[in-house]
Structure 1
Amino acid sequence: MRAVHVGSEVFPFSRSGGLGDVLAALPAVQARLGVDVTVVSPWYASLAGTPREVWRGDVFGVGAVRVGELREGGVRFLFVGLAEFDRPGLYHPDDVERFCAFGRAVLPVLQALNVRPDLLHGHDWQAGLPLAHAHLSGWRTAFTIHNLQYQGRWNLAEARGWTGLPDWAFGPEGVEFFGDLNLMKAGLVFADHVTTVSPTYAREITTPQYGEGLDGLLVRLTLEGRLSGILNGLDQERWDPRTDPDIHPYVGAEGKAANGDVLRAEFGLDDAPILGVVSRLAEQKGMDLLIEALPDLVADWNVVVLGGGDPLLTAALTGWAQNPRVAFVGGLNEGLAHRIYAGADAFAMPSRFEPCGLSQMIAMRYGTLPVVRETGGLVDTVPHDVGFRFAGETPGDLAAACREARFAFDDRTEWRARVERGMALDFSWESPARHYLALYERLTGISAESPAARR
């Protein structure tokens, strides 16, 4: 089986969130199962790593293209270099035009390098256009929705010439969406099968509340048997409290106390239990609910927040950091994220919707109990006898769940039992990878695994 993944980021070379983690971990496990795996993503100016240039040429409708290659963990990574990506950072306001150029370059690059996969697997809207071109070229395709809210929309009259698609593709049954080009819809329409990153989210997005205007199409895909949910895994080598170099390593519940002491010393916190948050600062993540609940939360908890995003939420948390029980660090900080997961006692995720979520899995692996809203992948991963779940969407609902967690914390026997159950859960990529390979096999008719992997 030869598979090509296409996405906008891949850890550790480029990353802004969970998509980059998935495109690092899933292909690596597939490679161990005997699949010939290639990952294609943009060659950003800020790329971490130095690819070896393997091709340079002109692509019709795109212009000059160069391609770099790195190999790691049995996976071949190809980075497509375009003028549109020669600037700092990953994402910008003109991303629809930029990723249309990337999307048009993907197939010609693969053909120039004699890479003809049995299946092309696109991830999120940035991969919608290359998936459409692959389907129109007769390739078998799968498409994964990581977050339906972000769709890659632009006025169709302006964007039409960016795509290289035939005229018939621009109708309501194609990539048109209320007068816009919609690259997420391109992936949905042209994929042989669509997955999303948890079974609950796959059901939720067929409703008007979560369907982001595409629920009618997603209902149709469900009825046709072309939409399913496969829960994401967790890179358990990268996130392992026994070997994590950013913390005081520990096994079981005993070692957490030293990491809590480190976090208290770092931020000058008192001896109240610590509620951690590592999140993008956005309303989707319920960070406004967290901020409004802080007057109640600080009565029971020290609250440590790491994240960047919305300027208004950032300003509000900066103001709250004057409170001795609140610590806030803006932006991304990998080392601090590890220290929060290890040092906090509980972990808040009040998301309005959560396609899958990795933070709650990491928290449980580190013995930090999640307080989560009942939505998406949080439902599928946080058992009632480990974490604390709430159904509402108000600051009071979050505060009540955190109060429940605080009462449980005082019963050290119950708390320890919850911690041990959480740390024993298996969130490895092995099971999700095999589910994807079974899907690939069904779509292509080709054995997905090597004979050695089947034994």
Structure 2
Amino acid sequence: MRVVHVASEVFPFSRSGGLGDVLGALPAVQAAQGAEVTVVSPWYADICQEVREVWRGEVQAPGAPDLGTLRIGEVKSEGVRYLFLGLIPFDRPGLYHQDDVWRFAQFGRAVWPALAALSLTPDVVHGHDWQAGLSVAWARLAGVPGVFSVHNLQYQGRWNIHDGAPWTGLPGWAFTPDTLEFHGDVSLMKAGLVFASQVTTVSPTYAQEILTHTYGEGLEGLLARISAEGRLSGIINGLDQDRWNPREDEHIRPYRDLRGKVAAGRALRAEFGLDGAPILGAVSRLAEQKGMDVLLSALPELVQDWNVVVLGSGDPRLEEGLRDWAEHGRVVFVQGMHEALAHRIYAGADAFAMPSRFEPCGLSQMIAMRYGTLPVVRETGGLVDTVSADVGFRFGPETPDALAAACREALAAFANRPDWRARVKRGMALNFSWDGPAAAYLALYAEVQAAPLVPVAGLEA
């Protein structure tokens, strides 16, 4: 099985969040399971220096005469071939910019010519999120089936159709409401949804949620049709078991039992001068999607019983609110994303807050449980699929009162030491490895390879 993953980021070469983590782990596990795996991603200006150029030349693609010179870089690691496409839109620092729809339209068009230049013909192309949507469309036009994974439906790669349609290189029939047109815009997310043989989300619950008006982001009608055709499923993300392993974590004093967990808590208290109250941690983008405004509003009650340690950045209003609280004791706020500190919070906190309004999968709750820290989560998406009531604590409404009530439940369990220790042990024993999800994707690839290509409106078979 020759599989090509296409994504905007891949750890450790480029990363801004969970998507990079997925592409940093899933391909290697699939390679270990016997697949021939290639990952294609942009060659950003500030990517690591170990990328070796293996091809340079002018690229030609139907309807795409303006791609110009393309450089292809390569890294091989853990049985995976990583290819990085060097195009003018990516010759600047940073991953994402205001003109990303144009940038990733060029990237999506360049993927297929790049594979052809290296004589690489995949059995399946697996695109991840809107930045890879166009690559799935071009693969389908070349007669290769695609799997398209929605990691977050909220971000769709939209631009006005007058300017955006030419960027894609696709013919005029591709811009109707049944294809890429979306309320007067071109949508690269729809390119992936419409042209893929199978659409997946990163958890079973999220696959059902996006069929509703609340979570469907205006695409629920299209998604309902895809689901009715048997082309929609949810496969829960795995967790990089090597990177997140309390037994061998270089960022903390490694531990494998409750005594080590207690020592990690003492170290975190000493680092920030915290008192003896239990610690509620959070490592997150500071955004309404993540419910961090809910956490901020719940602090007046939470600080009566908890120390609260938050690491993250994002919405300036939330950053300012957390800084204000940090001046009054029992709240620690560290702005930014610091890898080592994140590990120390996962290890040293007693509970972990994830009041997300929606959460396609979420990795933080898995990491927390692996480190013996019990999640307090809203009942949505992958949080439902991974946090059971006998380990963590769940709440429904998107309100500070509901979060505070769940934290009171956690506090009562914390006071009952046998109950708390049992929960911690159950959480640490859970297996969130990529082995199961990787095998599920390989089975899906075999299914789409054996089936007829998905019909697309306007495209003659």
Classify the TM-score, shorter chain.
Answer: over 0.9
- Look up the equivalent residue of 1:423 and give its one-letter code: M
**1:449 alignment partner in structure 2:** none
Pairwise CA RMSD: 0.9
Matches for 1:197-346 after TM superposition, within 5 Å:
197-346=202-351
The equivalent of 2:90 in structure 1 is: 85
Q: Deviations over 1:176-231 (max 9, x none)?
A: 00000111111000000000000000000000000000000111111100000001
Q: Which residue of 2 aligns with 1:34?
A: 34
* Greater than 4 Å deviation, 4+ residue runs: none
- What amino acid maps onto 2:270 in structure 1? A
1:66 to 61, 71, 76: 71
Letter in 1 for 2:110: A
What TM-score does the superposition give when structure 2 sets the normalisation length?
0.96
- For residue 263 of structure 2, what is the amino acid of its counterpart? A
Q: Is 1:386 matched up with 2:391?
A: yes
Partner of 2:382: 377
Equivalent in the alignment of 1:195: 200
Q: 1:418: which partner in 2?
A: 423
Q: Which consecutive residues of structure 1, in runs of 5 or more, have no partner in the other structure?
A: 447-455
Q: Secondary structure at the match of 1:279?
A: strand
Structure 1 residue identity aligned to 2:428: M
Deviation at 1:61, TM superposition (A): 2.2
Alpha-carbon displacement from aligned partner over 1:271-321 (angstroms, at most 9, x marks no partner): 111100001111000000000001111111111111111111111112221
| Equivalent residue runs for 1:135-174 within 5 Å | 135-174=140-179
| Post-superposition CA distance 1:36-84 (Å, at most 9, x none) | 0000001111213420000111223211211110011110000111121
Aligned match for 1:107, one of 112, 116, 134: 112
The one-letter amino acid of 2:417's match is R
SS of 1:254's partner is helix
Is residue 2:370 matched to residue 1:365?
yes
Counterpart of 1:255 in 2: which secondary structure? helix
User: Which of residues 98, 121, 126 is equivalent to 1:116?
Assistant: 121
* SS of residue in 1 equivalent to 2:408: helix
Query: In the alignment, residue 70 of structure 1 is paired with which amino acid?
Result: V
Question: Displacement of 1:445 after TM fit?
Answer: 3.0
Q: Which residue of 1 aligns with 2:17?
A: 17
Supply the distance in 1 between the matched residues of 2:50 and 2:323 (Cα, whole angstroms).
Answer: 37
- Equivalents in 1 of 2:96, 2:286: separation in Å? 16
**Alignment pair present for 1:405 and 2:410:** yes
1:252 deviates by 2.4
Residue 255 (structure 1) shift: 0.7
- Count of aligned pairs: 446
For 1:112 and 1:187, the matched residues in 2 are separated by 23
The code of the aligned residue for 1:50 comes to E
Distance 2:66 2:271 in 1: 53
How far is the alpha carbon of 1:102 from its aligned partner?
0.7
Identity %: 69
Range 51-60 or range 15-24, more displaced: 51-60
Amino acid of the structure 1 residue aligned with 2:319: T
Unaligned runs of 5+ in 2: 60-64, 452-461
CA distance in 2, matches of 1:372, 1:169: 41
Structure 1 position 260, deviation (Å): 1.1
Distance in 2 of aligned mates of 1:129 and 1:204: 24
How far apart are residue 86 of structure 1 and its match?
1.5
Deviations 1:78-130 (CA, angstroms, capped at 9, x unpaired): 01111211212111111001101111111100100111100000000000011
2:131 aligns with one of 122, 126, 148 = 126
Taking the aligned partners of 2:327 and 2:91, their CA distance within structure 1 comes to 39
**2:420 counterpart SS class:** helix
Q: Quick check: 1:365–1:423 contact (8 Å CA) kept in 2? A: yes
Partner of 1:46: 46
Q: Is the 8 A contact 1:268 1:324 kept in 2?
A: no
Q: Aligned partners of 1:345 and 1:238: how far apart in 2?
A: 21
Give the conservation status (yes or no) of the 8 Å contact 1:61–1:164: no
Q: Which amino acid aligns with 1:108?
A: P
List per-residue Cα deviations over 1:5-49 (Å, max 9, x = no partner).
000000011001110011111101000011000000011112134
Task: Name the TM-score, length of structure 1 as normaliser.
Answer: 0.97
CA-CA distance at 1:152 after TM superposition: 0.5
Partners of 1:135 and 1:190 within 8 A in 2: yes
